[in-house]
């Protein structure tokens, strides 16, 4: 096999589209979340090409259909193990959860990253109905409304500031009595009039009839909000590739920018699993294109 793609989010399907068109005859394993993270949301308003917006499911079905039409072999299954050929002289050996074993000259890793949640039942109950883990994605739907951001690190401060430009009021719910964010970031938060920090506070639950109307707090108070944004980190799905594949301290796969090359010849990484910064569908799709082109170039150079 020339190219194996692991993951079926925007990065994986876009890699499949490009790899199919350049004759790499890719096989793609979907994993246990076919279509990736966008299938967990309702409206998607910021993916180019949909003037009226679309839904996460529709967008991912379109990408899948396009990859299939061009010849990608899309299979159900989770990759459980990879024995990498560290010098690129022999194929990489891959195991799938149904027992399939296969050899491939190149691998495109597009396994995404999972947002961390608090673990409350109410987060699932109100998913897409007031609970979000991405201010850039969903902030627009809360213009002139009141929201809360959970977390005290740089990401939480950045998300709070972004939301403060759109929303009437932003609460930051911080577990401790300090922010973990950089001093510069903390200063910006303090200087933003419509951000209020609730120290030593945790969310215990949510309430609302057709969506979030408020949060029950550990202080005993009920806080009226229209949306709750989690900003307590992400977990890149890179565990099965480590330690052979080099990752940063948080587990994001390191690539040789501006390419998608990893430290192992013939292995490329794209999308959220290699992106601690942007984590958007369009940037994932863009890097999926790069990964397929990098894989093609690698095989051409190898002859």
Ligand X SMILES: Cc1cc2nc3c(=O)[nH]c(=O)nc-3n(C[C@H](O)[C@H](O)[C@H](O)COP(=O)(O)OP(=O)(O)OC[C@H]3O[C@@H](n4cnc5c(N)ncnc54)[C@H](O)[C@@H]3O)c2cc1C
Site residues for ligand X per CB under 6 A:
6-12, 29-34, 36-38, 40-41, 44, 46-47, 78-79, 110-112, 115, 133-134, 137, 237, 240, 271-272, 279-282, 284
Catalogue the active-site residues. Answer: 134, 137-138
CA distances from 261 to 79, 267, 284 (A): 20, 6, 15
Crossing angle (nearest 10°) for helices 56-69 and 10-21: 20
Give the residue from 223, 271, 269, 220 showing the smallest Cα distance to 246.
Answer: 269
| Torsion sign, CA atoms 37, 17, 63, 281 | positive
Beta bridge partners of 217: 203
Shortest distance, CB of residue 78 to ligand X, whole angstroms? 4
- 111 vs 201, beta carbon nearer ligand X: 111
Shortest distance, CB of residue 6 to ligand X, whole angstroms? 5
- 105 vs 272, beta carbon nearer ligand X: 272
Shortest distance, CB of residue 147 to ligand X, whole angstroms? 15
- 20 vs 37, beta carbon nearer ligand X: 37
**Angstrom distance (rounded) from CA 204 to CA 221:** 10
- Contact predicate 186/172, CB 8 Å: no
**Angstrom distance (rounded) from CA 267 to CA 85:** 10
Shortest distance, CB of residue 290 to ligand X, whole angstroms? 12
What distance, in Å, lies between the first and last C-alpha atoms of the chain? 15
- 45 vs 196, beta carbon nearer ligand X: 45
Enter the tokens of residue 214.
């408020």
Shortest distance, CB of residue 59 to ligand X, whole angstroms? 9
């Amino acid at each position: 096999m020339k190219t194996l793609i692991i993951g079926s989010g925007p990065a994986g399907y876009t890699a499949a589209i490009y790899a199919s068109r350049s004759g790499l005859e890719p096989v793609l394993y979907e994993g246990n979340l076919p279509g990736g993270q966008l299938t967990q949301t309702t409206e998607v308003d910021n993916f180019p090409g949909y003037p009226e917006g679309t839904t996460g499911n529709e967008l991912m079905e379109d990408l899948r259909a396009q990859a299939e039409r061009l010849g990608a072999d899309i299979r159900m299954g989770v990759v459980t193990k990879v024995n990498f050929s560290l010098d690129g002289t022999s194929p990489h050996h891959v195991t799938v959860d149904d027992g399939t074993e296969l050899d491939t000259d190149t691998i495109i890793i597009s396994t995404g990253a999972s947002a961390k949640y608090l673990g409350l039942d109410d987060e699932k109950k109100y998913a897409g109905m007031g609970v979000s883990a991405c201010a850039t994605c969903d902030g627009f739907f809360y213009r002139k409304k009141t929201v809360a951001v959970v977390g005290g690190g740089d990401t939480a401060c950045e998300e709070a500031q972004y939301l403060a430009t759109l929303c009437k009021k932003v609460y930051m719910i911080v577990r401790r009595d300090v922010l973990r964010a950089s001093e510069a970031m903390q200063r910006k938060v303090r200087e933003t009039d419509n951000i209020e920090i609730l120290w030593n506070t945790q969310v215990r639950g949510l309430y609302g009839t057709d969506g979030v109307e408020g949060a029950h707090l550990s202080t005993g108070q009920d806080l009226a909000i229209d949306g709750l944004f989690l900003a307590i980190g992400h977990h890149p799905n890179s565990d099965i590739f480590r330690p052979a594949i080099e990752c940063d301290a948080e587990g994001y796969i390191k690539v040789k920018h501006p390419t998608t090359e990893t430290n192992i010849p013939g292995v490329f990484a794209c999308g959220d699993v290699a992106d601690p910064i942007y984590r958007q569908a369009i940037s994932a799709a863009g890097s999926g294109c790069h990964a397929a082109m990098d894989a093609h170039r690698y095989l051409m150079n190898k002859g």
